[in-house]
Amino acid sequence: MTEALRMTEGLPAPQLLEVEDLSVSFPALRGARTTVLDRVSFSVGRQETVALVGESGSGKTVTALATIGLNHPSASVDGGRVLFEGHDLLPLGEAEKRAYRGKRIAMIFQSPKASLNPLVKAGEQIARVVRLHHDVSERRAEEMAVGLMRSVGINDAPRRYHAYPHQLSGGMAQRVMIAMALSSQPALLIADEPTTGLDVTIQEQIFELLLELKDRLKMSILLITHDLALVAETSDRVVVMHGGHVVEMGPVEAIFEEPKHPYTQRLVGSVLRADRRVRVQAAAAAVEGVVYATRGCRYAGKCEHVFAPCADIRPALLQVGAAPGHVAMCHLYDPAHARADRTDEQRAVSG
């Protein structure tokens, strides 16, 4: 049985999106390749908000891009499946992938102003997307675009229609992006750091907008972020990534209240220690250019609880804690590894 199936035991099947054992590598020096994603598995259910959390370099963006086939051409998928509504998207050709992109799975990115063509008016860009997904006349598309702008909370939409991207504020631009993304009522919205770089108040507005739209459109959201405070407020489940692996996964309350993996504990700990009102960036300990070539656990180098098996054996993703679907990839929770090796402290940590 794949780990993926094991982990979905706690969740109703079938899921909207199921990523199974996805592995992706990029070219490195001298013809070698570096593994960026190593057997990543998780799922997103219908009308569910799943947060994909990790620091830069953990592979979260690559994962998202892989689902719609938008990685850099030099990236190669070395294994796994991406099941969307039961269909594997990975082997599809470019034209077939386009049937999903923007239509069933939409994606919005960081830096919304940069995601808009600077030479074309904002409203026109929305109208273009509308015409891509719906067979309507130009005029009708314009009207629909204005309607979309209103529905994402842009006041004075007819005037803003004629604005160029550089004339919009960051929050406004992100609303435009959301309008474009939602024009076809996708089942899944992937949001890659959608609020990073925006004002705190705007961030909350954008997020409330997304949640409201999610309810109305019966949409799922895969939220990629390193901002744990936002995750706590908005997500149903959390997937924690580090070094190309999923190190822990589970319902949001479980992750925050009982983080099991040492990495998660550090992340969550840094949020809880700070003032809740301040947006906390996870992983201040920036990962520098380490070539990941270890056989064992990739976190072993930084883990305070490292012990015998960690260097050589890749941990299995196992159920931890009480909540259903709460799994972690750590030897501390693996009964197979000699308990005698562990210190009291480690035992205390794993409970």
- Quote the CA–CA distance of 271 and 287 in Å, as a whole number: 19
- Quote the CA–CA distance of 227 and 218 in Å, as a whole number: 25
Q: Select the span of 23-31, 79-87, 308-316, 335-343 touching other proteins (CB under 8 A).
A: 23-31
Start-end of H helices in the chain: 3-7, 60-67, 94-100, 122-133, 138-151, 157-160, 170-182, 200-217, 228-234, 252-257, 262-273, 344-350
List the interface residues with other proteins, window 29-58 (CB under 8 A).
29, 34, 36, 56-58
Structure tokens at 344: 């009291």
CB of 282 to other proteins, least distance (A): 15
Q: Which of 23, 47, 184, 281 binds other proteins (CB under 8 A)?
A: 184
Question: DSSP string spanning 117-128?
Answer: -TTS-HHHHHHH
CB of 291 to other proteins, least distance (A): 6
CB of 194 to other proteins, least distance (A): 12
CB of 321 to other proteins, least distance (A): 29
Question: DSSP string spanning 243-304?
Answer: TTEEEEEEEHHHHHHS--SHHHHHHHHHHHHS-TTSPPBS--S---------SS-TTGGG-T
Q: Compare residues 57 and 262 and give the one whose CB is closer to other proteins.
A: 57
Q: Which of 181, 224, 282, 283 binds other proteins (CB under 8 A)?
A: 181
Q: Which of 6, 46, 133, 314 binds other proteins (CB under 8 A)?
A: 133
List the interface residues with other proteins, window 246-275 (CB under 8 A).
none
Residue 227: DSSP 8-state = B
Q: Are 252 and 328 in contact (CB under 8 A)?
A: no
- Quote the CA–CA distance of 205 and 170 in Å, as a whole number: 12
CB of 260 to other proteins, least distance (A): 25
Cα Rg of the chain (Å, integer): 21
CB of 32 to other proteins, least distance (A): 9
| β-pair type (105-108, 188-192) | parallel
List the interface residues with other proteins, window 74-103 (CB under 8 A).
95, 98-103
Q: Which of 1, 12, 72, 335 binds other proteins (CB under 8 A)?
A: 72
- Quote the CA–CA distance of 167 and 309 in Å, as a whole number: 56
147 near other proteins, judged by CB under 8 A: yes
291 near other proteins, judged by CB under 8 A: yes
Give the x/- contact pattern for other proteins in 217-246, rule: CB under 8 A.
x-----------------------------
Structure tokens at 137: 């006349």
Q: Which of 132, 211, 272, 316 binds other proteins (CB under 8 A)?
A: 132
CB of 124 to other proteins, least distance (A): 9
65 near other proteins, judged by CB under 8 A: yes
Q: Compare residues 151 and 234 and give the one whose CB is closer to other proteins.
A: 151
